[in-house]
Structure 1
């Protein structure tokens, strides 16, 4: 009996040790008892931009921690796309409301306003931002951050960003830079499609490059390294939006989402049980596409022929055929290189069946309209990627001043 007890205790101790996160999040650093950052918010009337992904390492929502912390006064919440608790579908407007858990007033940042108004910031001494991002320019949380910075600069309200990991790592970035005429809420700042920065670093980059003039403070993580992907952090993934329930979707979002943003009639799996994990269309030969993509030996991914029928959305009840992306090495995986490989392959296989989306939607996703011309001209993946090189080199140099972590 004693031996069994010792074994049981040792087993659970080992489990606890294994489960302990390697990375301490910005919110954990801020609210620890000896925090040097607490003076930023202690005794202040705090506004908070957050949603269900803003949790500490124990999965306690930041909004709930602040609401019951006597050292701060949480007076206002601001809800990005999908709302403060993440229940609003993609693209739907978020209404002003009152948070049912805390009773704090919620101001929408995804309705008629995308930027906190002067009136909404009245009575707020300091604005905080705590949202988990997926590392892609087209995911709207980074745009919400940029607009918040502008509002804070205009009202002289300090902004505190509680930093979080970039799940794709902090070392790699891909894709074309965005032309000014295609700036939008899914392409807000002068960055590639994937940018290799945390949101704290992105805020520093925007402040520097765009001369926003925001009084910015970043509460950094402890233990995060640039080489880390999400799997290295020891943290649990919390759903960031309705179709990103796991870190698998976070890794794949920038691949399949960019394919479906380019061609009409091509599904990225939204509306099925595999959001952002698949590429499919009614006209695709699944086995042929699988074979063709497999021989490319793209790093970190394999392809599996698949047949599926979405049960909601624009492809509801349509029989689709295509491939499912199976990550074999997320560290080696390159989302945009894979996206371009899929696009060039589809264009070569189905030139008569593929229809490009209109200029504006393609342009705001990719940052320019060169991609359509390149695909129609039959350019290969390497040539398309090479066309971004000078912009990426300039970005790499410009972002150095904003980086926080080794």
Structure 2
């Protein structure tokens, strides 16, 4: 079994080696550190903010409200990522532009026709604060927006300050193929694996140096966070980052099932259900057979020993198979510290292609490649190659990424 074996010096142990204890000190988000220790980064300047409601302090006060209520901060411009300033709109939306009703500040959405701040909006600011909560996946568009924002700010000589937050998947595990250049998009902008085990602050440093963006970059680090922490270890309260990620579990499962049904196959991952990303199914599937096959294939596999599959039938109320009775499995995680989400995604896809070859269909090979980052995964699945073969094929690139990644890590194990 080929896994990720990296030196401790690279802070890259696989989840499950040592269970995280309760934090010995509180995890303090970057916004609180900014206002207590680094106000010099914004005081006396015109400040822009890219954020949504998931960016909160430990008392659940949003970054937007913290800054608006601080006389030392002069907010002059807002930006919103995909899903909008309220993180409430469906996938693929946030093309707003105008005056935000509550604050009366100008606002731009950074998704759709416009994916980077305009010159007009940047002319209103001296510094842009970036404060979003990530979920740790290359395909979640906020990490791509970070790179696009940095490029625009560098071109217009606007300082970028990233207010750091935890990676809910933790800071040690990274899996998957490194994205090929031809598949660069907002669903995979950064040249790294599907999961990267980095915070936005670390990724900003990675972007700035590895992509030669040369932005005027500052990162306000968290206090108290360690790489071994998954979200439940932080003591922080989860606020939905988008409509499909209402809980930390959904953020964890986003990679496991989103990389399956979200990459183009004719299946539903729980969209239009109260358990988004916890399910895999389709009207044509046999849930009992799928659960048995997944249980057999995942048996004794590292990172999946605490995963259980339960047959389930549901009726999606929107999205794939809207209004159609859907059969499949609910995935139960018993230990978040010993979980390999992308390995699970690969095994699910392998089972679907091996057990249901005449029924599984991929709508677009290009979309599949764009989500996974290369062409090899789909080709090998269709050839019924073992999942271990597919995983081993990206190990060399992962090892190279590990060496680069180590230069930008900011937090202890």
| TM-score using structure 1 length | 0.93
Which segment is superposed worse, 314-323 or 162-171?
314-323
Residue matched to 1:60: 61
Q: Does 1:25 align with 2:29?
A: yes
Residue matched to 1:347: 353
Structure 1 stretches (4+) deviating beyond 3 angstroms?
A: 18-21
- CA shift for structure 1 position 355: 1.0
**Cα-to-partner distance string for 1:15-39 (whole Å, 9 max, x where unaligned):** xxx999820000011112xx1x210
- CA shift for structure 1 position 264: 3.0
Distance 2:382 2:199 in 1: 35
Residue matched to 1:381: 387
Which residues in structure 2 correspond to 1:149-228 (within 5 Å)?
A: 149-228=150-229
- CA shift for structure 1 position 350: 0.4
* 8 A Cα contact 1:177 1:367, kept in partner: yes
Distance 1:364 1:263 in 2: 10
Residue matched to 1:333: 339
* 8 A Cα contact 1:21 1:57, kept in partner: no
* 8 A Cα contact 1:152 1:159, kept in partner: yes
Residue matched to 2:111: 110
Q: Does 1:73 align with 2:65?
A: no
- Say which structure, 1 or 2, has more relative contact order (CA 8 Å, 6+ apart): 2
Residue matched to 2:287: 286
Distance 2:35 2:407 in 1: 27
SS in 2 for 1:355: coil
SS in 1 for 2:349: helix
* 8 A Cα contact 2:269 2:278, kept in partner: yes
**Cα-to-partner distance string for 1:152-171 (whole Å, 9 max, x where unaligned):** 11011110000000000100
**Cα-to-partner distance string for 1:194-236 (whole Å, 9 max, x where unaligned):** 0000000010011111011011100000000011100100000
Residue matched to 1:134: 135
Q: Does 1:400 align with 2:406?
A: yes
Structure 1, unmatched stretches of 5+, are 1-17
- CA shift for structure 1 position 133: 0.3
Aligned pair count reads 386
* Larger Cα-atom Rg: 1
Distance 1:157 1:180 in 2: 27
Structure 2, unmatched stretches of 5+, are 1-21
Residue matched to 2:274: 273
| TM-score using structure 2 length | 0.91
**Cα-to-partner distance string for 1:119-149 (whole Å, 9 max, x where unaligned):** 1100201000000000000000001100000
SS in 1 for 2:310: strand
